[in-house]
Amino acid sequence: MAYDFKLRSVVTDKGKTAHYAKLSNTTEAEFFIGYKTYYKEQDGYGLYNSSQLTNLVYNSDDYAAEFGFFAHFIAPTAKAESHGSFICLNTYDRAYFTFGFMQFAAHVPNGDFVKFLRKLLTLHNAKDYFPRLKLIDNRIFYVSDTGTQTQLESDGSTKPLMEYLNPGLRDVEHQELICSARMIHWATHDIEHRKIQASDSINLYKNNLVKYHNRLGLDGYPAKVCLMVCDILHQGRGKFDRIANALDTNGNHEKAFTNLCSIGEVNYADRISSLKKSIKALETNGIFNKKYQAATHSFV
């Protein structure tokens, strides 16, 4: 039986509108969905939730046995994106719906969020959270009361999926709150949800690094340089030509790292500072002392 959530909102003493949900017909405690926010760039409204609950934060040690070094490799980005929060949410920008500690975004066809949701829909409890969504031939469909099937994403667009999760940016809608509550509750209460989120995040960077090496020639570069390349392109604060120029140092990897840290430093100083701090801690612990080996797509 599909889960039903009761919604509640309140204006805080700081003037923020906070939204909450509670799973109906249970003794579970009410939980926070997110604050309403206005996003000037889109001239629209949405939600954000950057809560970091102790048991819902990505810990690379939990996944190192299965994924090895790459479990640690993504940790600086996870920290910078969301403080590692498995329930990090925003619905206010052009992606319409972004979720998880690596901030998977719904607006990219066949992108990280779409692939993530496809896997979630294979879980045994998917029908409890999203009873209208069904995976058909590895595509996400909406199924109506009458059984009509409507495809929500394709190679060319995810617009129907975006608008299912968040009908628009003119206000915070009921559907947007319900979908957000479903995802937060699911991640909170199901370890399988979190495992998929973690494995998809790790494999995203692992696969991306192969592509980036083919463009930039990263064989022999230290982990911190490779991580910064991945993070720049994940966030979108720089493009390949700028990165290639930063790497053009006649083999001086320290200079290359410094150059990469300068990309986007005017607008993203806090993020870059977070990355550098995380990398330094990993180096101090003897974890980030490896170099990329292109032949085996691994760090040695």
pLDDT at 30: 96
**96 and 25 part of one domain:** yes
**100 and 175 part of one domain:** yes
**262 and 160 part of one domain:** no
**148 and 260 part of one domain:** no
Mean pLDDT of the chain: 97
pTM (whole model) above 0.75: yes
**250 and 182 part of one domain:** no
CB 57 within 8 A of CB 69: no
Copy the structure tokens of residue 69. 């070094």
Q: Tokens 């990505």 belong to which residue?
A: 58
Tens of pLDDT along 246-268? 999 999 999 999 999 999 999 99
**222 and 143 part of one domain:** no
**60 and 105 part of one domain:** yes
Band the pLDDT of 54: cuts 50, 70, 90. confident
pLDDT at 78: 98
Tell me the C-alpha distance between 234 and 105, whole Å.
11
pLDDT above 90 (res 185): yes
**Among 194, 227, 246, residue at a domain's last position:** 194
Tens of pLDDT along 84-131? 999 999 999 999 999 999 999 999 999 999 999 999 999 999 999 999
Closest CA to 42 of 95, 84, 82: 95
pLDDT at 42: 86
Looking at residue 36, the DSSP 8-state letter turns out to be: E
Tens of pLDDT along 262-286? 999 999 999 999 999 999 999 999 9
**189 and 231 part of one domain:** no
Mean pLDDT for the stretch of residues 8-18:
96
**Among 150, 179, 194, residue at a domain's last position:** 194
- In a 10 Å sphere around its CB, with 0-12 CB exposed, 13-18 middle and 19+ buried, how is residue 5 labelled? buried
pLDDT above 80 (res 288): yes
pLDDT above 90 (res 53): no
pLDDT above 90 (res 55): no
**11 and 122 part of one domain:** yes
Under 8 Å CB-to-CB from 245, ≥6 apart: which residues?
A: 259
**Among 163, 194, 225, residue at a domain's last position:** 194
Tell me the C-alpha distance between 176 and 44, whole Å.
14
Min mean pLDDT across 19-23, 52-56, 218-222 is at 52-56
Looking at 11-153, list the stretches that DSSP marks H as alpha helix, in order from N- to C-terminal side: 64-67, 69-73, 75-82, 112-120, 126-129
Looking at residue 29, the DSSP 8-state letter turns out to be: P
Q: Is residue 202 part of a domain?
A: no
**14 and 132 part of one domain:** yes
Strand 17-23 with 5-11, pairing = antiparallel
Q: Is residue 203 part of a domain?
A: no
Q: Is residue 84 part of a domain?
A: yes
Domain housing 153: 5-194
Tens of pLDDT along 145-158? 999 999 999 999 99
pLDDT at 259: 98
Q: Is residue 209 part of a domain?
A: no
**55 and 170 part of one domain:** yes
Q: Tokens 């109906």 belong to which residue?
A: 24
Cα–Cα distances in Å, from 190 out to 74, 121, 200, 221?
Answer: 22, 13, 16, 38
Tens of pLDDT along 195-254? 999 999 999 999 999 999 999 999 999 999 999 999 999 999 999 999 999 999 999 999
**47 and 165 part of one domain:** yes
Q: Is residue 98 part of a domain?
A: yes
Number of domains observed in the structure of the chain = 2
